[in-house]
Amino acid sequence: MIKQEYMDALEKALEPYDDDLRQEIMNDFEEHFVYGLKSGHTEEEIINSLGSVEEVIRNIDEPIKSKPEPKAQELIRTASVRNVLIKADNVGVDIDLHRSADHHVHYDYVPANSYFNNKQSNIRLIKTIEEGDTLIVSLEKDFQNDKRSGFFLDGLLNVEIPADLETVSIIGKQGDIDITDLIVGSLSVNTMSGDIDIVEVAAQKINVNSTNGDIKISESTGDINCRSINGDTDLDNCRAAVVSIANTNGDIDADVYAEVLTAKTTNGDIDLDIKGAMKQLLVETVSGDIAVLLQNALTFNGRVESLRGDVDIRVDYPCTVRRNCYLFSDGQTGIDVKSLNGDIEIEQRGCDSRSAEEDFHWEQKASSQTKDGIDDAIQILEALKKFNHSDDLKELNRLKSVMDEIKADLQKKTR
Amino acid sequence: MNAQFKKGALELCVLSQLTDKDQYGYELTEAISEQMTVATGTLYLILRRLKEEDYVDTYLVESLEGPARKYYRLTEKGRNYQNELKDEWLDFVKRIAVLI
């Protein structure tokens, strides 16, 4: 072996180490060769004296420089892979997913130490397999060595994916899921606990399912379908043809451009700010309040109704009112907003600046509502009179005459 | 020889080469390899470690014969460390001498 071969072999063997270390060793050995040759030794003798490359490498140990952290592993994706599935459904890790700078899928798992018992994470197996055109990246628990309770979070899985995939799916269990800057045909996220935060995703479809965590989607485009049992759902500045949100206990807060929007929750409140010309709006709660601000919808068709709550309608389009049910017809935006116990507030943007003529129309409408209310009251009073409790009769008669006066007054006004 | 033991002994040898004068790598490694069989390549690793731990520092001296020579110099900390190691070593050798 001559000097050049030796130095080439050494350089290659030093590759996994820190650049600084590699450079210094190479310089030291180069200098050693020069002065060894000057002293009259042959290259062969100097190599024998230095020791084999293996021996040198073997002596690089901790007190010197340890190997750098392994870089994110790279999967050279075959052209046939169209889908990526990230599977972490029996482990509790946080997942970060974002766009890779090249055409490959990268992943990197960073285990966490427990704060409490100082034991290393028991997740050690990361597996990647290709099934047809799907690449599966999965984390698995090493159950045999699992001595810890399931409460602990077990680190962070970083995944980077290229921009031209058809579907990306995440199946998680515990831990937060952060997704940033993706372009994909369809994105789907399923998890039990932990918050889901999706930012700047461009997709045709975004499906999110969570049991306990909050869902937040912002600055994204694509049809959105969210389901959460206990978490809140927050859509901020998203654009979609179809948005569908169904919660059980969480609130829904959406600031979107959408053509068709469905928002349902049992106990949460719903707060919507909708831009764009809507085709269909369907909102439903059992106990929560509903507030809808319509930025561009002009004419309506359908109904707004709360069985036990108050309804406040501020739109510039005629409707017929029966108690707490407001009926619209012949308009372009289909509207179906209902609540059992909650209050409802529907506001059309610009509606506050109405003309005097419109004001008159609104006053008329308000009066007719009041009149309906008074008619009801009179009927109740009449009914009560039939029970004929002499003590209360006088008071009932007085109330009825007050009502009659108000009614006559209103009729005069609206005529 | 036990690897750990050898490493400690070599470290003391390297440090001791520098107590009287600064030396450059080839000079230093030659002096040691004249006395014992050692892969001189590994001595550079020891020098590097000693430098990382501030027992030695280095400076370059231009040379007419070839590339600049990297000289190693013992620091104050290195001098103290060499003394400690030497005392330990001598004490150790004395005890061994009693036993053998």
Contact A362, A354 (CB under 8 A): yes
Confidence tier at A337 by pLDDT (50, 70, 90): very high
CA distance A111 to A88: 13
Report the run of H or E that residue B67 belongs to, with start and end: none
User: Under DSSP, is residue A407 helix (H, G, I), strand (E, B) or coil?
Assistant: helix
More confident residue, A39 or A152: A39
- pLDDT score, position A360: 54
CB contact under 8 A, A50 and B39: yes
Q: Residue A240, Cβ neighbours under 10 Å: how many?
A: 25
The mean per-residue pLDDT over the stretch A156-170 comes to: 87
User: Under DSSP, is residue A42 helix (H, G, I), strand (E, B) or coil?
Assistant: coil
Confidence tier at A114 by pLDDT (50, 70, 90): very low
Q: Residue A275, Cβ neighbours under 10 Å: how many?
A: 17
Top-confidence range, A51-60, A230-239, B63-72: A230-239
CA distance A130 to A122: 25
pLDDT value at A361 more than 80: no
CB contact under 8 A, B26 and A31: yes
Q: What is the mean pLDDT of chain A?
A: 81
pLDDT value at A197 more than 90: yes
- pLDDT score, position A101: 79
The mean per-residue pLDDT over the stretch A74-82 comes to: 64
Topology (CATH) of B3-99: Arc Repressor Mutant, subunit A (1.10.10)
- Among the listed ranges A95-104, A117-126, A132-141, A250-259, which one has the minimum average pLDDT value? A117-126
Contact A320, A327 (CB under 8 A): yes
The mean per-residue pLDDT over the stretch A124-129 comes to: 66
- pLDDT score, position A69: 44
pLDDT tens digits, residue range A257-294?
999 999 999 999 999 999 887 899 999 999 999 999 99
pLDDT value at A340 more than 80: yes
* Burial (0-12, 13-18, 19+ Cβ within 10 Å), A196: buried
- Among the listed ranges A60-74, A234-248, A259-273, which one has the minimum average pLDDT value? A60-74
Domain ranges of chain B: 3-99
Partner residue facing B44 (CB), from A28, A34, A38:
A28
Chain B partners within 8 Å of A38 (Cβ): 65-66
In Å, how far are A86, A296, A298 from A331, measured between CA atoms? 45, 13, 8
Confidence tier at A334 by pLDDT (50, 70, 90): very high
- Among the listed ranges A75-79, A96-100, A145-149, which one has the minimum average pLDDT value? A145-149
The mean per-residue pLDDT over the stretch A94-109 comes to: 83
Pairing assessment for the beta strands A252-265 and A280-285 based on DSSP bridges: parallel
Tell me which residues of chain B have a C-beta less than 8 Å from any C-beta of chain A.
Answer: 24-27, 29-30, 33, 39-42, 44-45, 47-49, 52-53, 65-67, 69-70
pLDDT tens digits, residue range A378-403?
777 777 766 666 666 777 777 778 87
Partner residue facing B26 (CB), from A24, A27, A36:
A36
Six-digit token string for A104: 């490959």
In Å, how far are B3, B57, B72 from B18, measured between CA atoms? 23, 11, 7
Residues composing chain A: 415
Q: For A2-28, b where at least 16 C-beta lie within 10 A, e where not — what string?
A: ebeebbeebeebbeebeeebbebbeeb
- pLDDT score, position A154: 66
- pLDDT score, position A395: 73
- pLDDT score, position A20: 83
Contact A193, A174 (CB under 8 A): yes
Chain A partners within 8 Å of B50 (Cβ): none
CA distance A63 to A191: 44
Q: Pick from B27, B61, B60: which is nearest to B44 by CA?
A: B27
Partner residue facing A51 (CB), from B30, B41, B53:
B41
- pLDDT score, position A173: 85
- pLDDT score, position A122: 53
pLDDT value at A214 more than 50: yes
pLDDT per residue of chain B (100 residues) written in tens, 0 to 9: 455 677 788 899 999 999 999 999 999 999 998 898 888 999 999 999 899 889 999 999 988 777 789 999 999 999 999 999 899 889 888 988 999 8
Six-digit token string for A19: 């650049």
- pLDDT score, position A224: 95
Q: Give the torsion sign (CA, A35, A36, A39, A42).
A: negative
CB contact under 8 A, B42 and A55: yes
Partner residue facing A28 (CB), from B39, B53, B70:
B70
Contact A331, A300 (CB under 8 A): yes
- pLDDT score, position A55: 87
| CA geometry: angle B12, B16, B20, nearest 5 deg | 170
